[in-house]
Amino acid sequence: MRIRTLGVLSMAAAALLLTSCAVQTAPTGDAPEEAQELTTVPGFDMSDGVIHVGQMTALSGPLAPSSNEQVAGQQAYYDIINAEGGIAGEYPVEVITADNQYNPQLAVQEYQRIKDQVVMLSGVLGDASTEALLPILEQDDAVALPSTQSSRFTKQPNLGMTFTSYQSNTWNTLSYLFEEGQITTDSTVCSMIQADQSGEARQIALEYASEELGFTLGPKTEFAPTDTAFTAQVQTLKNAQCEVVVFGGATNNVPNLVAAATQLDYAPVWLAEFFAIAQSFKDTDIAGYLAENFLITGLAGNLDDTSIEGIELLTEQLGTTPTMQNVYGFMQAITASTILEKAVELGDLSGPGIMNAMVELDKVSYLGLNGDMTYGPAEDRLQPDTSSIFAYDPAAPGSLSALATMYVAPDGRGPDF
Amino acid sequence: MTTAAPHAEANSADPGSTDAVLGRSARARAPRLFGTLTAKILAIVFVVAIFAVPLNIGDSYVLTVLTTAAIAAIAATGLNLLTGYAGQISLGHAFFVGAGAFSGQVLGGQLGLPFLLWLPLAALFAGALGALVAPFALRLRGPYLAIVSLGLVYIGIYAARNLPALTGGLNGTVVTAPVAIGPLDFTSLQIGPFLLTREQGMFILCWVILALVLLATANIVRSRSGRAMQAIRDHDLAAEVLGVRRLPSMMNAFIVSSVLGGLAGGLLGVQLQYIRPENFGLDLSIQYVAIIVIGGLASIWGPVLGALFIGLVPVMAIWLSNYLPFIAKPGEQSGVSVSGFGLIVYGVLIVVFLLFRRGGLISFFHRPARAPRAPAARAAASDPAPGESTTQKEGPSS
Amino acid sequence: MTDFLQTLVSGIALGCLYAVLALGFVVVARASGILNLAQGSFVILGAYLAYALIHQAGLPFWVGVVIAMAAVAVFAVLLEALVVHRVTDHFAALLVTFGITIAVAPIVTAIWPGDSLNLDDPWALEVIRIAGIGITARDATLIPITAVLLLAFFLFFRFTRIGLSLRATAIDSEAAMAQGVSTRFVFGISWGIAGALGAFGGVVLSTTVGGGVRPGLEVYAFLALPVIILGGLESPLGAVVGGLIIGVVQQFAVSLVPESWGSGFADVVPYLVMLVILLIRPAGLFGRKEIRRA
């Protein structure tokens, strides 16, 4: 009885192992011919002609509200081009979303889930998630567009950037303040940043600016993303009499920062990025402090300024005034579409084909929303060098009131910025 | 705190006498590893499946989920040893997993050690940390230990964030440690003319290691030290009176648990290819606790079932989001997010299982206890009641 | 000198916040003998309910707070009666209460989505300045409230019948029952108090200066865990003293520690302090050494 059972089992085992339906044979080493005509590839089926792109973002958790706005912005652009038939007028674009919850571990898993359904990822939220995906993208010869400004991804062949770097934003804003006379060679400028690469990027720009413009560089204070009490850092900045502080935090840090600054009666000019500002601030008490002391870097200009082509199109498509996050997503979709147009032109929508398209591309332009992103061979790629600078105004759309649009420092782009 | 030291000295003067009570009687002899036919068949099926599954299912997503589940099962097995068998609550298991992951990258990625060296060393490193922490932590009871173990997690994250040369700091690091045993590179395994994908190779590697871990754990549990742990868990004063000293026994459990956590961490590093300090926080510890509670405390297969179940929750949530209106679709603001849904499921199941089904998922596979036919005929473990003291899957005796 | 005093004052304020959070744990530990990790759910429920009542329904601030506290107290009592009471041992109780917090938090944040909601508290960003030291209006109210709470606890446990019943049940529940004390009643009251305290803590945490009503509040309750270990699991005095110690040490540590110690040091300070104290006094400062019977 026992022997028979074992016998049956071993036959079944052998059968299972020998069928091995999911094993592919090792490649024999012939290089693929250069395709001149589009063929079906993962994410694109010739029979229906729909190009699928992936969007990986934090659909849950504290970043969800802004991520959802980015998703809406992307979709708006795709809707606009789909109305004209899609890429090259023939191939509509559809988005498949994935939730990485801002967690790189889940990013990897989600990527595995959707990678065969899409030709590329037109958005990946989170530097950490992008870093996590990079080795896998390289293995798979796939392309992703990180939803970040971090310059460390610019020269990667598998990644396509869209936005101005943190360094350029900081450098431009400081130059602007210097031009306006709010910073002079007698000023002390300091920083309050996170101990990561985005913080480092800002610090590099700050140090460069202090050399070029001649102001005094004050202390660098650091905080962790989950810190809630900033009194120690604010105390340090106050004691050093910093008049301007480069701030690298996000929306969850700002209320605590304002509370600490108010308590210690400290009111410098804080330079922040637009993702530090949440709509919910405008009917709280911190709005007053923000209006008086915050200077914010962002994209485009006033969000109701329909003289900017991108804003006009986005407003029409959404049916309402866009938020800055909508614009952010919209711009990434422009990048993705431009790349896909090139890929279709070259006749190859596979991963290597898209990478090749990025190499063959010259620039991507953004309908007046920001400066051009320079493509080409990976080592030649350059992020735009323009920044738009805003004051906080609860009455303005998105609480942002433009002071300067598409501003470039008079001394030009900084080194490797 | 017990005051049993003098008693233990007196009674353990003759180790043989303790053995006589704990080991030598027929009824209490350690159960055979694969005592029943069902257990044998299960083991064979398991081993076959380790190879049959990836060879027949090529979908990289499914394989990734299952491989991650295997790694979680390894870590959970470690935690189960400490919590299920030894009765010590720990909320800090993520600390040891993180230690394994980062040390794995330092040893394998930065120093370039081969797989057969860096993985065991990473596991031992985590074990060494466990040995350091244990004497202090184990003096504490119940809630105190739980909180101190929680503190370990935060201290671990702090340390990892502030040693950028070793861990990449706040941003973390890519994992480049090699995954090759001699000529067999699991990231691109070639068998004859067949080339396996990375996901297929990693699946086989992790599930084989899991099988070995389960074997080792089953042996530990059967062994004298394993039974000592359970004795202390159930009634530590009585155990001390019988000569089973608490601290060394608990330390064994703690150290082995940490080693397994470190082993899982090393594997997790190469699976994810990117690790950062935040990955090893309270959320991960919660996940392991949920796995062992839902899977079945103090059982060998429990952590495996639990890990598979927990691993499938997010997958289910995505699938269910099409049918249940309160789960938010991407782009929507209202409703529970997929991850939120996962957390709700974990929380509710932990409560439900602890209230109504202490044995966990594994207890659904147990037959209720039968009256023993005759003491001599039952050389295998006498049927335990479904629940805490089960050591392995029991099937019908044929 | 002003810097020192400023840090000290900030530390005391933080300590009072910790104390309020810790007292909730202590009450339940005294009565039921368990570490109630569901306290986290009380914190987040209290904050969001207060938001719903004050910001959404427009009730006056203190009315909303009191109603929120009462509602969470009821929730806590029901939780104890229906769920926790069924659990037989401390180990399982710890995990069950943990499971409750894990499950409740996403439900709450799904009902009220948004990353930082405005509680409309009366303190806003007001800062009171005395001799160059600033203290937020919220903290200026919080410190006396904590003192009053501590006094109230003391009086309650010492001088009222209910307080006496609670102490009796904690010492020997069978003897207390023999004297006519209903343990169910005692448990109910204790959990109700814990719920109210947790809700109050949640409200304080989500004021404007606290950062608003936001997801993740339930984790703040866990911040109080080192405090109760430090102070002794069952001692209200320990909760307050422990809270003050940790609050003050944390503020000083963060301001005095050199840059090279890195970021996120503030998060580990409470645990480090706790570990140091545990090395010296394993039962905490005011904790009772366990007397165990076989």
Q: Indicate whether B12 pLDDT > 80.
A: no
- Taking a C-beta distance cutoff of 8 angstroms, is the pair A202, A166 a contact? yes
Written as one string, the DSSP assignment of B106-123 is IIIIIS---HHHHHHHHH
- Taking a C-beta distance cutoff of 8 angstroms, is the pair A158, A358 a contact? no
Q: Of B140, B282, B333, which has the smallest distance from its Cβ to C113's Cβ?
A: B333
Q: Which helix (H) or strand (E) holds B148?
A: helix B142-161
How far is it, in rounded angstroms, from Cα C98 to Cα C92?
Answer: 10
Written as one string, the DSSP assignment of C34-46 is S--TTHHHHHHHH
Q: Which residues pair with B274 in a beta bridge?
A: B174
How far is it, in rounded angstroms, from Cα A198 to Cα A203?
Answer: 9
- Tell me what percent of chain B is helix, strand and coil, each rounded to the nearest 5: 70, 5, 30
How far is it, in rounded angstroms, from Cα B288 to Cα B123?
Answer: 18
Task: Determine phi and psi for C128, rounding to 5 degrees.
Answer: -100, 130
B neighbours by CB contacts (3+ pairs under 8 Å): A, C
| Nearest in space to A333 (alpha carbons), one of A82, A13, A62 | A82
C62 vs B343, C18, C116, CA distance in Å? 33, 21, 21
C-alpha angle C33/C38/C39, rounded to 5°?
85
B148 vs B98, B140, C270, CA distance in Å? 17, 9, 11
Pairing status of strand A216-223 against strand A188-194: parallel
- Taking a C-beta distance cutoff of 8 angstroms, is the pair B95, C271 a contact? no
Distance from B12 to chain C by nearest Cα, in Å? 20
Q: Indicate whether B387 pLDDT > 60.
A: no
Contacts of C98 in chain B (CB under 8 A): 286, 289, 350
CA C85 to chain centroid, in Å, comes to 22
How far is it, in rounded angstroms, from Cα A374 to Cα A366?
Answer: 12
Beta-carbon separation of A131 and B172 below 8 A: yes
A vs B: CB pairs below 8 A: 146
B191 vs A35, A49, A368, B195, CA distance in Å? 31, 38, 55, 6
Quick one: pLDDT at residue C139?
85
Residue A9 CB neighbours (<10 A): 15
Q: Of C261, C262, C268, which has the smallest distance from its Cβ to B154's Cβ?
A: C268
Q: Of A229, A259, A283, which has the smallest distance from its Cβ to C125's Cβ?
A: A259
SS3 per residue for A309-328: HHHHHHHHHHCCCCCHHHHH
Nearest-10 crossing angle of helices C265-280, B142-161: 140
Q: Which residues pair with A392 in a beta bridge?
A: A400
- DSSP symbol at B386: S
Calculate mean pLDDT across residues B192-212. Answer: 87
Kindly give, in sequence order, each residue whose CB lies less than 8 Å from that of residue A329, ignoring residues fewer than 6 positions away.
A69, A70, A71, A72, A73, A74, A75, A76, A77, A123, A147
Between A36 and B320, residue with greater pLDDT: B320
The rounded radius of gyration (Å) of the Cα atoms in chain A is: 24
Between B87 and A87, residue with greater pLDDT: A87
- Taking a C-beta distance cutoff of 8 angstroms, is the pair A75, A144 a contact? no
Pairing status of strand A50-57 against strand A93-99: parallel
How far is it, in rounded angstroms, from Cα A100 to Cα A96?
Answer: 13
CA B334 to chain centroid, in Å, comes to 36
The per-residue pLDDT string of chain C (294 residues; one tens digit each, 9 = 90 and over) reads 777 888 888 888 888 988 988 999 988 888 777 888 899 999 999 999 999 999 888 889 989 999 999 999 999 999 988 888 888 777 788 888 988 998 998 889 888 877 778 888 888 778 888 877 888 888 888 888 888 887 887 788 778 877 777 777 777 777 878 877 777 888 888 899 999 999 999 998 888 777 788 887 888 888 888 888 888 888 888 888 889 998 898 888 877 776 667 667 777 888 888 888 877 877 777 776 655 444
| Nearest in space to A331 (alpha carbons), one of A56, A151, A159, A145 | A145
Quick one: pLDDT at residue C290?
58
Cite the DSSP H helix spans in B242-366: 246-272, 282-295, 302-320, 338-356
Contacts of A65 in chain B (CB under 8 A): 333
CA C92 to chain centroid, in Å, comes to 22
Say if A64 is an interface residue toward chain B (CB within 8 Å): yes
Pairing status of strand A373-374 against strand A363-364: antiparallel
How far is it, in rounded angstroms, from Cα B394 to Cα B273?
Answer: 38
Sign of the four-CA dihedral A352, A356, A359, A362: negative
Q: Which residues pair with A188 in a beta bridge?
A: A216
Calculate mean pLDDT across residues B149-173. Answer: 86
Nearest-10 crossing angle of helices C137-159, C2-32: 40
How far is it, in rounded angstroms, from Cα B260 to Cα B300?
Answer: 14
How far is it, in rounded angstroms, from Cα C235 to Cα C63?
Answer: 30
The rounded radius of gyration (Å) of the Cα atoms in chain C is: 19
| Nearest in space to A277 (alpha carbons), one of A9, A69, A82, A121 | A69
Say if A368 is an interface residue toward chain B (CB within 8 Å): no
| ipTM here | 0.83
- Taking a C-beta distance cutoff of 8 angstroms, is the pair C35, C25 a contact? yes
At A262, the amino acid letter reads T
Instruction: Please name the residue that has the structure tokens 């992703």.
Output: A144
Residue C85: closest C-alpha in chain B: B355
Calculate mean pLDDT across residues B61-69. Answer: 89
Q: Which residues pair with A294 in a beta bridge?
A: A270
- Taking a C-beta distance cutoff of 8 angstroms, is the pair A255, A202 a contact? no
Contacts of B58 in chain A (CB under 8 A): 21-24
pTM of the model: 0.82
A326's tokens: 């909508």
B93's tokens: 């298991």
Sign of the four-CA dihedral B106, B150, C287, B88: negative
C272's tokens: 């480090």
- Taking a C-beta distance cutoff of 8 angstroms, is the pair B397, B368 a contact? no
Distance from A221 to chain B by nearest Cα, in Å? 15
At B111, the amino acid letter reads L
| Nearest in space to B375 (alpha carbons), one of B20, B25, B17 | B25
Quick one: pLDDT at residue A46?
86
Kindly give, in sequence order, each residue whose CB lies less than 8 Å from that of residue B1, ignoring residues fewer than 6 positions away.
B139, B141, C282, C289, C290, C292
With a cut of 50, which residues of chain A have pLDDT below it? 1, 28-35
A71's tokens: 């998703």
- DSSP symbol at A90: T
Q: Indicate whether B382 pLDDT > 70.
A: no
| E-state strands within A63-214 | 93-99, 120-125, 144-147, 188-194
For chain C, the farthest-separated pair of C-alpha atoms sits apart, in whole angstroms, at 61
The rounded radius of gyration (Å) of the Cα atoms in chain B is: 22
B114's tokens: 């081969």
Residue B68: closest C-alpha in chain A: A109
At A267, the amino acid letter reads A
How far is it, in rounded angstroms, from Cα C84 to Cα B200?
Answer: 45
Written as one string, the DSSP assignment of A245-293 is EEE---TTTHHHHHHHHHHTT---EEEEEGGG--GGGGGSTHHHHHHHH
Say if A267 is an interface residue toward chain C (CB within 8 Å): no
Banded model confidence at residue B230, pLDDT cuts 50, 70, 90? confident
Q: Of C92, C99, C267, which has the smallest distance from its Cβ to B158's Cβ?
A: C267
Which phi-psi region, left, alpha or beta, contains residue A214 (left: φ > 0; alpha: ψ -120 to 50)?
A: left
Kindly give, in sequence order, each residue whose CB lies less than 8 Å from that of residue A293, ignoring residues fewer than 6 positions away.
A261, A267, A268, A269, A270
Sign of the four-CA dihedral A242, A243, A244, A245: positive
Say if B314 is an interface residue toward chain C (CB within 8 Å): no
Beta-carbon separation of C118 and A283 below 8 A: yes
